[in-house]
Structure 1
Amino acid sequence: MYGRLGIVALLSWLVAFPRALEGAKILGVLPSAGWSHYAIGEGLMKALNRAGHDVTVIAAHSWKEAPANYRNIELKELVFDKGGSEPDLFQYRNDLYLKVLYLLYTQIGPGLSELILTHPKVRELLNSDESFDAVIVECFASDVLYGFAQHFKAPLIVFSPFGASMWANDLVGTPYPYSQIPHTFLRYTDRMTLWERFLNTLLWNVDRLYYENVFLPRQVEMYSKYFPNATQSLEQIMKNVSLALLNQHFSLSFPHPYAPNMIEIGGIQIAEPKTLPEDLQTFLDASKHGAIYFSMGSMLKGCKFPEEKRNAIINVFGKLKQNVLWKYENTSLPNKPKNVLIKKWMPQNDILAHPNVKLFLTHGGLLGSTEALYHGKPMVGIPIYGDQRLNMARAATAGYGVSVEFEDLSEESIARAINVILNDSSFATNARLISRRFRDKPMGPAKTAVFWVEYVIRHNGAPHMRSSALDLSFFEYRLLDVYALMLLIVLLILGGLYVTVKLTLRSLCSNLKRGLKNKRE
């Protein structure tokens, strides 16, 4: 009897949840040229592929060892340095925020999206009879690309490389309190002074004005051009996002208000450490006083440091007893000290996992910071632009890092910062503490992402997780109509009291006058 019941239960489960056994077809659209953004998207798409799903990825880069059911649609044209020369991104460190917004919203974002939508490989895909069970798009100045979801009639899932952001939160109707959440380009924390909250609110509102009045109209125009047969408007698509995956974890930043369809997957790009190349393994193993790993990330190039500042760094390295691994994009480094090993590319995650690495010298990018904290390594940051100052502000507040401003970078300042970290054990202790918190979770980021993507597919877009806030107008969402009604009621009451008092006083005065008149008579 129990055997038959078990078989019936199993068959019922198989009918109810076919996706648990059957692989889905998933399209990923990763428009950013930068490796750091791509690495997050690639980590997500790899996780889905390893879970048995058929994955297609449109991106500037590709997974070279991809299996048969992982298709790369590689668009090398998305990469900035088409001519082979390395761009000097240090030049953007002093750009005004309004200029950065202008470039992002009018040139970089629309330019990359247009390149994708006009590319022959992409047009071939759009004109094919292929279908997908879900479409995943990076949420970063690329709203027109959400059109892939309506084109293939699939649920739209976004991933945010900056974690919870204005762009991601607006898509799912989640509050984004400026009193608590600092702007990406500010070096504030979640505990701001009155002046900091003023500046933060001002900057967020400038950002929103640019986004809604400059960027979005251009995106709507491009959407009409490249998806002429769309059955939904871009606004309708953006109000029906099924899931927002966030490159973030509260243990690395601070708590945020989340809707149920906002899921943290911070660290999804981090894989199990692999064996290092022999020369790196030997170099680190022989570092009896420990080692420092120095990388300015994938976009900023160590070889582009101004000569004066590069020499200051070299002089400091030469005086250290620790060995130094430096991701340096030239084959030679003038006056290179004996304790320094340079390479154009280094397996960062595997290096940070080595027990002899005592310090990560970084630009403060979110990807590298996450990897360093996963392995419990303190850091010295030289932030240049974007969210790097914000990330290093968190490091200073939490006690696992210090910053050196690029303009202040000198032999004295960099030596002081390095020695503070190496000689004060509290920085390493705090980094290991955060690492334990970060790792302490019921499922890793890859399994978490896979579960929720499959959940959305199983439940046909999971509309039950959609917030009704998305259907409210600006005035309704902010309760301005309610406050206006309250004000009107108060004014009516005050007006009524005023009229009542006035009439009462008038009546009293009239009676008093009549009384006095009668008395005289």
Structure 2
Amino acid sequence: MSSSYYSAIALSFLLWLSLASSHNILVFMPFGSHSHKATLIPLVQGLLERNHSVTFITNQESTDLRYHKMMYNLDEVVVPNLNYSMLDPESAEQNFFELAAQHSIRSQLKIFRHLSSQIDKVLEYTYTDAGVQSVLRHGRFDLVLLSQVVSYAGYPLAWHFRCPFILSSPNVLMTDSAYLLGDSEHTEYVPFFLMAMTDKMNLAQRVINTIITHLLNFFQDTFIFPRIQPTIEKYFPGAPSLIEMKANISAAFANTHPAFSYPRAYPPGVVELGGIHCRPAKPLARYIEEFVSGSGNDGFILFGVGSIIPMDEMPRPMLDVFIRVFSRLRQRVVWQWKGVNKPANLSDNILLLDWLPQQDLLGHKKCRLFLTHGGLLSTQEAIYHGVPVLGLPFISDQLLNMDKAVRDGYALQLRWNQIEEKLLHRTIRQLIYKDTYLSNVKRRQSLLHDQSETPLERGLYWTEYIARHKGAKHLQLGSRDLNRFQRSLVDVYLVLATVSGLFIFACWCCLRRFEFFIRFIKLDLF
């Protein structure tokens, strides 16, 4: 037989091996912003490049996956227009700068509660979509990868397809997710993600942290889940309760790392993938490169506040402060401007961009400072590329992230109601010209890069591991079957307290009897 015959057999055998070891994976994120999706995209790309088949249900087309759509087995199902404005027009119209000026946990919890009350809309909009219906009817999957953003909507999928699921968080892992994997909430040192606390809390802070954490879990299980259970049963007849379905979690991915997050103990099923989206800088567009290279030794400052916040909502007096301060600096400024109404008559050292190639700018050798809202992804990118930070947090975990950055010595922060010309100018100059901030961020950069494997390699391994071992039940802690009282040893302490109390009472009774006996002897003798 000819050599081509044997080559064809060998090629067919290798193809068979490849298909035999590949998995069908459903990635589910029908709601959320571009930044929420950023941690999932590298995983999807990596899984496709390892010959797995991926079905990705999302609310917007992923431009980063266009090449993979052509070259690999990717089916992207887009549920159009499922965003914050559709879900909650009232909150979508909220001016972020006004919200930041309020700076209260109450206002943030109000938004969280209101959005949570609209989850049934996400379910209805998602599961009535023709593409999603087709997936439900014809799909066969070995694993479901759920985004933590509105994860309730995805719990029934793992039950429907009879496969394990992994929860992927774009930020810190919610305490109830770690709890489901057998961990405790650890409210004594794990701060609630909406509160600017550290891992070293005083008694009052620990009390507040514990109350809010448990109230959130109670609110979810008692009010949110019963509200959306009828909708779940409408599209998944016979489905168990959401509490039962979410308890079947096999693993969770947390976007954390000790270089920028407070360290905490995790059970075996939690894998830290902090910085998974970070990458080396790519060449800039010519006009941007010419602008930043023209800054000379002074370098440039990057100013961006994420993909959601419209910069043209900034109050005019505050905007004028930034413009005046930037015009006084020796550095050039690349300013992300999301919005229609752009300011006129800017100084020559300011460049406005509708969209920022943020990592490419942060990784540029002339980048001296990053003015940011303090989102977790932006904070990670600043550390990855070694750039000091001026934090201007609005809401959510941004306050916690920036407090941590200040504590680690590579950042300063200003609240939006503090912005005034002298303070802003002085703070920017301090961060640029005081070497301490640069040396501290370089140390954090070293910690982030010093890993035995990249976060992406780790994430791909554990995704395949969970699929390969059908949920990896051998990793599950026995504490998963215990309730909160048992995990906290409340029942044990009650038994010990009861036994100790009975022992003390018995000793007291014996002493009383002994005292009575002594008195009786004395009376009898004398």
Query: What TM-score results when the alignment is normalised by the length of structure 2?
Result: 0.89
Report Cα offsets for 1:380-411 as digits up to 9, x if no partner: 01101001111110111111111010111122
- Tell me the CA shift for residue 134 of structure 1: 0.5
Q: Residue 142 and residue 205 in structure 1: after superposition, are their counterparts in 2 closer, same or farther (change >3 A)?
A: same
- Tell me the CA shift for residue 117 of structure 1: 2.6
Asked if 1:92 is matched to 2:99, the reply is yes
Q: Which amino acid aligns with 1:194?
A: L
Q: Which residue of 1 aligns with 2:276?
A: 268
Match of 2:77 among 73, 76, 90: 73
Q: Which residue of 2 aligns with 1:174?
A: 183
Report Cα offsets for 1:339-379 as digits up to 9, x if no partner: 11111112111111111111110000001111111000111
Asked if 1:194 is matched to 2:203, the reply is yes
SS in structure 1 opposite 2:250?
strand
- Partners of 2:501 and 2:94 lie apart in 1 by 62
Match of 2:492 among 464, 482, 485: 482
Match of 2:266 among 250, 258, 265: 258
SS in structure 2 opposite 1:274?
coil
Which 4+ residue blocks in structure 1 deviate beyond 6 angstroms? Answer: 17-21
Match of 1:327 among 322, 336, 349: 336
SS in structure 2 opposite 1:170?
helix
- Tell me the CA shift for residue 223 of structure 1: 2.9
Q: Residue 437 and residue 19 in structure 1: after superposition, are their counterparts in 2 closer, same or farther (change >3 A)?
A: farther
Q: Residue 251 and residue 20 in structure 1: after superposition, are their counterparts in 2 closer, same or farther (change >3 A)?
A: farther
Higher mean Cα deviation, 156-165 or 63-72?
A: 63-72
SS in structure 1 opposite 2:325?
helix
- Partners of 2:180 and 2:126 lie apart in 1 by 22
- Partners of 2:98 and 2:221 lie apart in 1 by 28
- Tell me the CA shift for residue 19 of structure 1: 7.6
Q: Which amino acid aligns with 1:349?
A: Q
Q: Is the 8 A contact 1:89 1:299 kept in 2?
A: no
Identity of aligned residues (%): 29
Higher mean Cα deviation, 429-438 or 157-166?
A: 157-166
What does 1:50-449 correspond to in 2, within 5 Å?
A: 50-64=49-63, 65=66, 66-68=68-70, 69-81=73-85, 88-93=95-100, 94=102, 96=106, 97-107=108-118, 109-126=119-136, 128-230=137-239, 232-288=240-296, 289-330=298-339, 332-449=342-459
Q: Is the 8 A contact 1:316 1:414 kept in 2?
A: yes
Q: Residue 324 and residue 117 in structure 1: after superposition, are their counterparts in 2 closer, same or farther (change >3 A)?
A: same
Q: Which amino acid aligns with 1:385?
A: I
- Tell me the CA shift for residue 48 of structure 1: 1.6
Q: Residue 190 and residue 18 in structure 1: after superposition, are their counterparts in 2 closer, same or farther (change >3 A)?
A: farther
Q: Which amino acid aligns with 1:253?
A: S
- Partners of 1:19 and 1:253 lie apart in 2 by 38
Alignment size in residue pairs: 497
Higher mean Cα deviation, 310-319 or 325-334?
A: 325-334
- Tell me the CA shift for residue 102 of structure 1: 1.6
SS in structure 1 opposite 2:496?
helix
- Partners of 2:35 and 2:222 lie apart in 1 by 29
Q: Is the 8 A contact 1:378 1:400 kept in 2?
A: yes
Q: Is the 8 A contact 1:314 1:336 kept in 2?
A: yes
- Partners of 1:435 and 1:20 lie apart in 2 by 39
Q: Residue 205 and residue 412 in structure 1: after superposition, are their counterparts in 2 closer, same or farther (change >3 A)?
A: farther
Q: Residue 224 and residue 513 in structure 1: after superposition, are their counterparts in 2 closer, same or farther (change >3 A)?
A: farther
Higher mean Cα deviation, 244-253 or 37-46?
A: 37-46
Q: Which amino acid aligns with 1:487?
A: A
Match of 1:507 among 492, 517, 520: 517
SS in structure 2 opposite 1:58?
strand
C-alpha RMSD of matched pairs (Å): 2.3
- Tell me the CA shift for residue 187 of structure 1: 1.6
Q: Residue 323 and residue 467 in structure 1: after superposition, are their counterparts in 2 closer, same or farther (change >3 A)?
A: same
SS in structure 2 opposite 1:326?
strand
Structure 1: gaps spanning 5 or more residues: 1-13, 517-521
Report Cα offsets for 1:435-466 as digits up to 9, x if no partner: 11101111111111000001111111100111
Q: Residue 488 and residue 194 in structure 1: after superposition, are their counterparts in 2 closer, same or farther (change >3 A)?
A: closer
- Tell me the CA shift for residue 429 of structure 1: 1.3
Report Cα offsets for 1:394-435 as digits up to 9, x if no partner: 111111111010111122222122111011111111111111
- Tell me the CA shift for residue 251 of structure 1: 1.5
Higher mean Cα deviation, 396-405 or 86-95?
A: 86-95
Q: Is the 8 A contact 1:51 1:450 kept in 2?
A: no
- Partners of 1:192 and 1:381 lie apart in 2 by 22
Q: Is the 8 A contact 2:176 2:217 kept in 1?
A: no
- Tell me the CA shift for residue 30 of structure 1: 1.1
- Partners of 2:459 and 2:165 lie apart in 1 by 14
Q: Is the 8 A contact 1:242 1:461 kept in 2?
A: yes
SS in structure 1 opposite 2:428?
helix
- Partners of 2:520 and 2:149 lie apart in 1 by 73
Q: Which amino acid aligns with 2:21?
A: E
Q: Which amino acid aligns with 1:30?
A: M
